[in-house]
Structure 1
Amino acid sequence: MSTSTTSTTSTSTAPVHRTRVVILGAAGRDFHDFNVVFRDDPTYEVVAFTATQIPDIEGRRYPPELAGSLYPQGIPIVAESELTDVVEREGVDVVVFAYSDVRHEHVMHLAERCVAAGADFRLHSARHTMVRSSRPVVAVTAVRTGVGKSQTTRYLARMLLDLGLRVVAIRHPMPYGDLAAQACQRFATYADLDRHDCTIEEREEYEPHLDAGVVVYAGVDYERILREAEQEADVILWDGGNNDLPFYVPDLHVVLADPLRPGDETAYHPGEANVRMADVVVIAKCDSARTADVEAVEASVRVLNPRATVLRADSPVTVDDPSAVEGRRVIVVEDGPTLTHGSMTYGAGVVGARAAGAAQIVDPTPYAVGSIAATYAKYPNARGVLPAMGYGAEQVRDLEATMRAAVEAGECEAVVSGTPIDLTRVLSVPAPLVRARYELREVVPGGLAAAVRSALPLPILGAHSGATSVGSAS
């Protein structure tokens, strides 16, 4: 990294002072903010990204193919632990925070480090980073990871498809491989998942849409992705990640709140901002939560955003084959991010296993191998279930080896998978596998349908007047 504070561009011979920037990220929002705010602005020089949350991101470079003409060498990506050294060594003027699902205290502790090292600290607003679409946009975001965005996105997709509309889902970025190759990806078949070498985490988000016949776009360059998706869509469905802000200006912004984690709606960035921006707040998992917690979350939401419509929904879990679970000792596999930075101790798999009468939910911690053992060390709340960590081939092997060790020890008779994908597509499961599935069910049907009717432009609805009326999705 150069320490020069001036540079020249191809259109001018005069030196231009460039404000020196570091972007704090996790291979998602950070790249988007760079693309829409900094990439083509010669008054800024982004000297580095930092990385956290996701393994094996640091040590790479944001490639010149994506970084643009001002960055012919690309931009280095370093570990967040190096932040203070980078700020001081590179004479950084501004540090931009650009990742999600972190407590407010976490954000401010980073801010204090930057201020002490001599840099300003910046949070970009949604207004300055959202791209406007030529199509109506329905955005689904949340207060925390693991609240129920995916089931809500599927519910809305079915509702829009029933109207006869062409729906394209655009998923929040998860670029864990070759960034240049992942600039703009389209998924229409399961073969596309294999062709793009998708991780388990990516498959968890894409497969359910493909099951429903919905095309998915994702990648790194989200303006390009949007323009491609608009060519085959009547409506864009933004499928948010973590509790991040939408990347596109929404016509309808639906935010999920979690009564199993009451208080988190005011404690996490940028989930609180999502609640304040929402058109509709859906309090999910009401069938699993205490009534007092549901009411507390609703009261909190109404204080944060009095204009939002507040709806309640259940998240019923069904198990494909309860007889394969009843009376047996089972390992439960749950969605990885829900257990890691989402801080949950269980998910749909545990709910399904208990409902199906499992004799025992086996703690896989003693059998953990390699990166799975490291995950338990870093996230002790995940002990007791098996996080579906699969950011790379090594983690997939470790996941399989952990299950195999428990089976060979005679402790596990079946596996209950609460992840939204078919794990047998990516690894060999050494015991009978039963999937636990979950969907959204409105407590009072029709609330989301009314919100869709209100938000979508009349020409869109009128063009498909012969289609099924907007009603409750099932």
Structure 2
Amino acid sequence: MDKVIILGAAGRDFHDFMVYWAVRPNTQVVCFTETQIPGIENRHFPKEMCRNDVNGNRYPDGIDIYPESQLEELIQRFEANICTLAYSDLSYHTVQSLASRVNTAGCQFVQLPPVATQIKSTKPLVSIVASRTGVGKSQTTRWVANYYKKKGLKVAAIRHPMPYDEDLNFQRCERFETMEDMDKYRCTIEEREEYYRHIEDGTLLFAGVDYEMILREAEKDADLILWDGGNNDFSFYKADLTITLVDSLRPTDELHYFPGETNVRMADAILITKTNELKSVLEADHHAQQLRDKGILKHDMVPILYGKSKIVPQAKGMTTEEAASFVNGKRVLVVDDGPTLTHGGLPSGAGYALCESLGGIPVDPRPFAKGSLQQTFSKFTHLKNCLPAMGYGEEQVQDLQASIDAVECDVVMIGTPIDISQVLDIGDKPYVVARYDLEVVPQHQTKFLNVLDTAIDPEEKKEKKINPK
């Protein structure tokens, strides 16, 4: 019997187990390892989701979860002969280093292909995926959802998992329709950042752990399913249309990060994002040509489209113009999206971009960091003038609160996908929210809509000729 360790980060690892490893004959998953997300190790995957009804009660007590740092010790302890990679947004260097650790310990290093774990929906399904974290998937998913809703379709978005609760059964299948549902499921800041705008737009949202159950529940309410990807992971579902986002500010990352290149190779359309932050559209044209020249698109007719990230300031009781003038010349603490700045590798996010464009003076938050935020800055040394909104658990939220309180500034610029003042006390500091949405460049808008229509009209998908130039 094969003895398997699943290397994960509280997401794909559980999905791969439930749809593949739990039902594979002559296989015993001996443990999970966790990394990347603070505080998710040393938990337990419950027996209720171990597929014991179809595998002969192979996991009567569930499965333990350990830190990835103990990998070699775990291989020896459990006499494992296979370690399988099941998380994302990793440099190829990191992937090969993991493979070397596993091989040196005497194990096979396995990477499952998308086809092994993708579930087929009974409804049309569109996947929004990316080359890296922080490329703009959520704002794109919202834009796409609103397009289909305007066509009269009932849309359900399914978000890539973020099951951070200690009781995974509690998060098995989550349905979000109102803001109160985020309280119901004890959502962290990181979860709220991804869910809030969907709920605000009136898009029914699902997430959780058991993605077969989640899909079947979503199908009851929707005419069309949208996969809102996390990190640069590939979709858990077989898509009728795959739209892959690549970042104009990180123009070669799709060739160096796993599994971002897989997403590019599987794409039915490419969207180059944040083109408004380039010095010239020629840079986007060069990026598009590189994608074609590298031969990583699945065929020559894959359309490459351009999108902008439209960022506007909002402040309570102020017009947009008043909020903008409020930042000019002020000392500004920028609080930007945590994952984008940390494992996404960007030095700043939307909040910093808006602060800079409005003439604000960013304050270096590093001397004021408290608790776990000190460790974050020590680990991610590229960060300087942004405070990452780390909120994976109660302790981190408290440390974030304390860090914001300690910074000497005139204004706080909130660049997270939600207004974190709803879950934190900003205190007496005035704040401005950076609100950002996708804006498809005008000359590509019709082409993008044509692409979206192929998911709901199979005959159009067969016949439509989309000019890739």
Please say whether Structure 1 and Structure 2 have the same fold, judged by a TM-score greater than 0.5: yes
For the residue of structure 2 that corresponds to 1:228, the secondary structure is helix
Contact 1:234 1:460 (C-alpha < 8 Å) held by counterparts: no
Q: Which amino acid aligns with 2:146?
A: R
Cα distance, 1:437 vs structure 2: 1.3
The corresponding residue for 1:339 is: 341
Cα distance, 1:257 vs structure 2: 0.4
The corresponding residue for 2:373 is: 372
The corresponding residue for 1:5 is: none
CA RMSD of aligned residues (A): 1.5
1:258-337 equivalent positions in 2, closer than 5 A? 258-291=247-280, 293-302=283-292, 303-305=295-297, 306-320=300-314, 321-337=323-339
Structure 2: 5+ residue stretches without partners = 53-57, 315-322, 462-469
- TM-score, reference length from structure 2: 0.91
Q: Percent identity?
A: 47
What CA distance in whole angstroms lies between the structure 2 residues aligned with 1:381 and 1:66? Answer: 39
The corresponding residue for 2:160 is: 172
The corresponding residue for 1:435 is: 433
What CA distance in whole angstroms lies between the structure 2 residues aligned with 1:264 and 1:459? Answer: 35
What CA distance in whole angstroms lies between the structure 2 residues aligned with 1:39 and 1:458? Answer: 34
What CA distance in whole angstroms lies between the structure 2 residues aligned with 1:288 and 1:262? Answer: 13
1:38-437 equivalent positions in 2, closer than 5 A? 38-69=21-52, 70-177=58-165, 178-291=167-280, 293-302=283-292, 303-305=295-297, 306-320=300-314, 321-358=323-360, 360-406=361-407, 411-430=408-427, 431-437=429-435
Contact 1:262 1:296 (C-alpha < 8 Å) held by counterparts: no
The corresponding residue for 1:20 is: 3
Cα distance, 1:78 vs structure 2: 0.8
Cα distance, 1:25 vs structure 2: 0.5
Contact 1:319 1:356 (C-alpha < 8 Å) held by counterparts: no
CA displacement, residues 366-418 of structure 1 (integer Å, 9 cap, x when unaligned): 00000111111111122321101000111111111111111xxxx21111111
What CA distance in whole angstroms lies between the structure 1 residues aligned with 2:264 and 2:27? Answer: 32
CA displacement, residues 252-290 of structure 1 (integer Å, 9 cap, x when unaligned): 100100111121010000000000000010001111024
The corresponding residue for 1:466 is: none
Cα distance, 1:56 vs structure 2: 1.1
Cα distance, 1:216 vs structure 2: 0.6
- TM-score, reference length from structure 1: 0.90
Cα distance, 1:113 vs structure 2: 1.3
Contact 2:454 2:460 (C-alpha < 8 Å) held by counterparts: no
> Which is worse superposed, 170-179 or 86-95?
86-95
What CA distance in whole angstroms lies between the structure 1 residues aligned with 2:446 and 2:78? Answer: 55
Q: Which amino acid aligns with 1:361?
A: P
The corresponding residue for 1:470 is: none
Contact 1:172 1:240 (C-alpha < 8 Å) held by counterparts: yes
Contact 1:260 1:293 (C-alpha < 8 Å) held by counterparts: no
Contact 1:88 1:118 (C-alpha < 8 Å) held by counterparts: no
Question: How many equivalent residue pairs?
Answer: 439
CA displacement, residues 220-270 of structure 1 (integer Å, 9 cap, x when unaligned): 000000000000000000000000000001111001001111210100000
What CA distance in whole angstroms lies between the structure 1 residues aligned with 2:155 and 2:184? Answer: 23
